[in-house]
């Protein structure tokens, strides 16, 4: 702009240019900036277009930004899941409980199965932490899970419900056979995934019980309970014990679909 002081009394003309620097009223904190950058980076690695990732991030933030941690329920994520539906073949869904590492190694190696963390939102949010605060536009990445409900657990609750509803045909679940109760009623697998399997959309659930040694763990009482639940849903149940070492061999040799058990 040109200052009013540009015209002195002696008639000479001096032009003074004043630079106006606009400072944003709200600057992102390092936590918010880092979380957004990580979200977009993982989204584009999925891969997805940058513009789509930015839109998903904006919808995702609406679920928790400006809200106290314990105010965020699974319903807060309805919109982002509606806008980001699963795209993998529903009959290739691999559920898991207590077998995070080996289930994901096998799914990645075989390319035959898809875990929740192989979906776009699951991939992006896996191992991240986030929450908001009433009246605050920032994203925080620490101490977000010290209350229940919280934005992180509520997200995975919604994700687990959604993948249970999405699954179809012959579904596979990889469970930890070294646990006293491989099927435990308070796990996400039990509460949200098995509970939302729908017949006749889902015809069968095969439990791949990961064990150190084959000792007849498929006879575990908790798995009998799972069988009874599936019978009530008119879904066929099957259980196969597979040793950790055998699955590791399958991962190493990149066995094709179904060849590992």
Buried b (16+ CB within 10 A) or exposed e, 190-211: bbbbbebbeeeebeebebbbbb
Q: Are 150 and 83 in contact (CB under 8 A)?
A: no
- Burial degree of 1 (CB within 10 A; 0-12, 13-18, 19+): exposed
pTM over the 0.85 mark? yes
Q: Is residue 51 part of a domain?
A: yes
Give pLDDT tens digits for 209-248. 999 998 899 999 999 999 999 999 999 999 999 999 999 9
Amino acid 56: pLDDT: 98
Q: Is residue 125 part of a domain?
A: yes
Q: Is residue 8 part of a domain?
A: no
Query: Phi/psi of residue 25, each to 5°?
Result: -70, -30
Q: What is the mean pLDDT of residues 164-193?
A: 97
DSSP class of 178? T
Domain of 81 in residue numbering reads as 45-253
Q: Is residue 214 part of a domain?
A: yes
Give pLDDT tens digits for 95-137. 999 999 999 999 998 888 999 999 999 999 999 999 999 999 9
Give pLDDT tens digits for 14-46. 434 433 333 343 567 999 999 999 999 999 999
Q: Is residue 207 part of a domain?
A: yes
State the total domains in the chain: 1
CATH number of the domain that residue 230 is part of: 3.40.50.720
Q: Is residue 30 part of a domain?
A: no
Amino acid 27: pLDDT: 67
Q: Is residue 203 part of a domain?
A: yes
Q: Is residue 261 part of a domain?
A: no
The H or E element containing residue 92 is none
């Amino acid at each position: 702009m040109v200052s009013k002081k540009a015209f002195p009394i002696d008639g000479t003309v001096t032009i003074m240019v004043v630079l106006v620097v606009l400072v944003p009223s709200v600057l992102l904190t390092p936590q918010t900036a880092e979380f957004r950058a990580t979200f977009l980076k993982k989204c584009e690695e999925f891969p997805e277009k940058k513009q789509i990732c930015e839109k998903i991030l904006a919808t995702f933030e609406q679920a928790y930004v400006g809200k106290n941690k314990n105010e965020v329920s699974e319903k807060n994520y309805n919109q982002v899941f509606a806008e980001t539906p699963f795209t993998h073949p529903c009959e290739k869904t691999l559920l898991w409980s207590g077998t995070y590492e080996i289930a994901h190694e096998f799914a990645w190696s075989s390319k035959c199965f898809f875990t929740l963390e192989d979906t776009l939102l699951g991939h992006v949010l896996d191992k991240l932490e986030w929450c908001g605060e009433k009246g605050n536009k920032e994203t925080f990445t620490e101490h977000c899970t010290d209350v229940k409900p919280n934005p992180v657990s509520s997200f995975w609750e919604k994700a687990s419900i959604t993948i249970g509803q999405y699954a179809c045909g012959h579904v596979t679940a990889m469970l930890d056979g070294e646990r006293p109760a491989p099927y435990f009623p308070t796990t996400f697998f039990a509460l949200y995934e098995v509970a939302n399997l729908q017949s006749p959309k889902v015809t069968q659930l095969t439990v791949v019980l990961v064990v150190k040694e084959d000792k007849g763990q498929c006879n575990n009482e908790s798995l009998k309970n799972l069988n009874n639940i599936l019978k009530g849903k008119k879904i066929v149940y099957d259980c196969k014990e597979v040793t950790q070492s055998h699955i590791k061999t399958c991962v190493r040799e990149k066995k094709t679909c179904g060849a590992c058990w």
